[in-house]
Amino acid sequence: MRGSTFAVRWLVRGVCALALVLAALFAVQAWQEAAAQAPGRAPAKPLVWKVGASWPTTDPAFAHNLKPLAERVERLSGGRLKWEIYPAGAVVPAFEVLDAAHRRVIDAAHSCSYYWVGKHKAAHLFTGAPGGPFGMDLWDFYGWMYHGGGWELLQEFYQQVLKLDIVAFPVITSNPQAMGWFRKPFKSVEELKGLKYRVPGVIADLYREFGMSPVVLPGGEIIPALERGVIDAAEWAFPQADVLMGFQDVLKYYYLPGMHEPTTTCELEINKKVWDALPPDLQAIVRAAVDQTYIDYWARITKESSTVLRDLRDKHGVNIVRTPPAVHTAVLKAWDRLAERESRDPFFRKVYESMRAYAATVVPYRKLMWGAVEAARDYYWEERYIK
């Protein structure tokens, strides 16, 4: 009798425990279904963004920045957010992606702010400026962006100055860019006069002060323009990107570095309504993916460009030439004059003075502390690219 009673008790307890487990499972399922339907939660169907770039598929900015960025967003979101990415011209032309994102022809643009200098000259400052500006490198620029008020100024620029429905995040950076590719060598500023030279943004105004004839062209049009003789010289980016564009097949004098663009920062420019509609966790995922891509892209292009530069000399017969110091000095002096004129505009002045204040804090410190790194570089490594 005691055995039967004992068995019954355990049976009752087992049934009760099973009932509790089933009740808990049903409760969790009901909570998940309710949460999925609650405001602010992503729908079961993935969100799909159209993202248009200002570059051809051959450019590293597309292949090694935008493409991995899209893959990271999809992976980190568990497939809840997917991007369809398009090179320049596939949906809209290279220089129209910003307006297309504003109008929501696309959901976001992958581009550089200095392409929008026709709208406002301060656009160039958010990509970088000659001399950094003020001696800032790419990491100082990133510091200004997120610890010196730069990001807030960037949003003010798009939303209040340009009146565009855009939220922007830095996603591309690079090392100092080359001065560019030339048909013949030069040793002085005077020899540059009259050259038809492809450059972007405010830099066109800067080189115009040298007596050059700057021409602004999107990436996909540069090589054809060189082949037809429409332009005499051109800059694009850094060795890896330049080789993929095919400059080495057209011109044989490669001058570097360029003082006109020692830092380059380009952006993911998202339609603000599209951004605001994302739940907070997906916004955080996009921002995390952007930051990871920013750093990884720099590391990749630095490594690959170091190999490419040697191949340009040894395999393609390109003359690697150090830009004359006099040209660097002339660029800085011309930029100072140009920036002073542009600072008559209140917003340009606001951004430029913000940069100056941040640089005044960090650049002298880094100049002191990083001197050890420069000394070590000189100690261990001789020049290996220029004959």
* Axis crossing angle, helix 346-369 with helix 371-380, rounded to the nearest 10: 60
Predicted pLDDT of residue 44 = 63
Distance CA 371, CA 363 (A): 12
Residues 6+ apart with CB under 8 A from 298: 138, 173, 174, 175
- Give bridge partners of residue 256 from the DSSP assignment: 322
Count of CB atoms situated within 10 Å of the CB of 187 = 10
Cβ neighbourhood burial of 93 (10 Å; 0-12, 13-18, 19+): middle
Amino acid at 112: C
Residue ranges, the chain, pLDDT below 50: 1-38, 42
Distance CA 270, CA 345 (A): 26
Q: Cis ω on the peptide bond leading into residue 257 (within 30° of 0)?
A: yes
Q: Hey, what are 123's tokens?
A: 């656009």
Predicted pLDDT of residue 38 = 47
**247, 181 in Cβ contact below 8 A?**
yes
pLDDT tens profile 61-116: 999 999 999 999 999 999 999 999 999 999 999 999 999 999 999 999 999 999 99
Q: Classify domain 47-174+264-300 at the CATH topology level.
A: D-Maltodextrin-Binding Protein; domain 2 (3.40.190)
Q: For 99-110, b where at least 16 C-beta lie within 10 A, e where not — what string?
A: bbbbeebbbbbb
Predicted pLDDT of residue 40 = 52
CA atoms in the 13 A half-sphere facing the CB of 185: 8
Q: For the chain, how long is the longest CA-to-CA vector?
A: 113
